[in-house]
Structure 1
Amino acid sequence: MASGDSDVDDDYFSDFGDQRGGSDDEDFYTGDSDDECDINKSGGDYMDEDGNDDDDDYGEQAVEETEDGGSEMEKTYVVLTEDGIRARQEEDIAKVSEVLSMPPGFAAVLLRHFKWMAGRLQEEWFLDERRVRDAVGLPADGAVPTLVNRRRLTCAICFDRFSAGGMRSGGCSHFYCVTCWRGYVRAGVGDGARCLSLRCPDPSCTVAVVRELIDEVADDEDRERYAMFALRSYVEESNRFKWCPGPGCSLAVEFVGSGGDQINDVFCSCGHGFCWRCGEEAHRPVSCKTVAMWLAKNVSESETATWLLDHTKHCPVCRRPIEKNFGCMHMTCRAPCFHEFCWLCLEPWVSHRFCEKYRPDGSEAESEINSTEEERRVQAKASLDRYIYHYERWAANLKSLRVALDDMEKLEMSELEKMAGAVRVPATELRFMTEAYEHVGEGRRVLAWAYAYGYYLDPERDATKRQLFEYLQNDANASLERLHGCAEKERKELFGAAAVDFHTYRAYRDKLAGLTKVTRRYFENLVKAFAGDLAEVSSSSETAS
């Protein structure tokens, strides 16, 4: 940021830079020591409580995620398969069944009524058992989930008579034949999750139809569907679990930490990240309110923005159309031009450090406006330009995020083995590459939502706060571009050669690991500043006043 553009004291930014612990980036990746490169450390590994990578008996795929650099809050959650969810559900039902001395089917009905909160269930149960029984439709104490008729009776639905053993009830005195029960259950299951709240067919009876009776009278298909609804209720009706909203993903996430009111982004084993609070894609460091406003804004403006942004850009030198096919913003025109420039601001890459900050169009603002309509037109254009500026960078970073995730998936599936063979090292030693891509992905996600945050900073009212925002963002963005370029282009150049020199590989490894560490530090500072809504500006202003 040029000093002439800022009204904030230069010493303030110097002090903030000192707090970053920042010296020149080169200092972090010129060393030869493996320890300095921090190659084998990862902030995104998922381990179980004993430090093992293996899944446990409950189908857990991840237990805890601790942010790098000693974050203020440790986020702890578990990613569960359907088998893992089922095991947790059966365990909770078995505990309640044992404590309250009742069949599992009754225990499941009680747990669903209390949103699968066993503690609250037991508290209410021992406070007023009769009221709880009446509320959920449990028969009197000592009753069983299903009874068989002991003498010849008439079914109240089909009016056929059946001998002893041919009819069933839900623990009450209303017996029906198995065929009628099967039709009743099929109709309930066809009605969706409400089948979990089935009651006795007799209109005057409120006894609940539970799992044991369903298993006795329903056919295989209906039993499976009922079991599926019961499993989904364990996740969807509980405040401890959420299904991963990733496309085609059937995993669930359980939050098991102590800071449930503060948890935000969680990341499923499928690679999809989402916000625990609002369910949108992971959007650290901005608030759910900002995300909601931004997405609503995109809906209203998306057609105009898409029309303007979906076209290819032209090379600033030869004017030929350029299509962006890599993740980073460093573009190189085709032969014979070979001009290198930034995709976002179109400035030459050789002298590029960060994109110029958003500036309102001053030429029209300074001209004399003789009519109200002309003034409205200028204001509308300025508003659209400002939106397009932030939308383009938001969309470009999310697109680069998807490219980075695709590259990381290709690395893990096949390319790591090939590269390891080329330099004759174990594939595990190339972990520094996937770690770099993890930080590239996280950085792209943070930068994307940072632009959404920046859109809602008023250019005049929040001018000082915006200057700090751009200062932090530019540093983080420049570091991320260096990391992404090294992880993507330099890697392909190195391993695209017929033979890979081991010393060249070591130098590349040290550089990439060092850049990963530097980038992580920049983004930690950016996220911390956003978490406090750039409180440094407010405190500085209060001190000055």
Structure 2
Amino acid sequence: MLEKTAPVVFQCAICFDDFPEDAVARADGCTHSFCRQCLREYATSKINDRRFPIFCPVCVTEKDRQERGVVNEIVIQQIGISDEDYQIFEELQLTSFCIFLHCRRCKNTMFVDRQELQETKIIVCPLPRCQYTWCQACQQEVEVGGAQHSCDGSSELQYLMEKQGWKPCPGCRTPVQKSEGCNHMTCITPACNVHFCYTDGLMITKGGTRTEIGNAITAHYNKCALFDVV
């Protein structure tokens, strides 16, 4: 005569009712057991609250627990939720790895990889017909093929000075462009009073009497060209 075997049951950690083992639902990464209805209602409430990831409701109450069980996509499919809630769940999954990026030139918004965007300083619109480029830190447009971008404009200014042949005042570093005349420059920045040579960029003198300035200019241009010879 065959002995009767008692059915294996478990107690749901939410409603505390007993259920047969084949009706169990568990979050991935832990051993807490739930009936499918309770875990479905719990997951649905988190989805409607736009909470992601969805952790095991028991794990979150255990303060000393390092790793928490997660109601992932496989568990969601096992417990069954509505199509509308599943669509929200998929969007939450996507946004956990991606982030919305808005291009102000083409006015389009698209998903991009979150980690890749966080590690990128210069952003290029991924749409082939746009390719607008800007700095993530200061949001300024970056010229492709131009100077290396700097948020304060220092690199762009240095690039422009080299391209145009401008010279910085050796005293205050103010950019100076010679339009005509001799190579003796006098900085017009207040309180600078530096006289310098536009040819070699060297300081001739800083302030002084008219005689001292004249002597310094004469001494410099005894070995440097005061006028450019064309």
More strand by share: 2
Higher RCO, 1 or 2 (CA under 8 Å, sep at least 6)? 1
Q: TM-score, normalised by structure 2?
A: 0.49
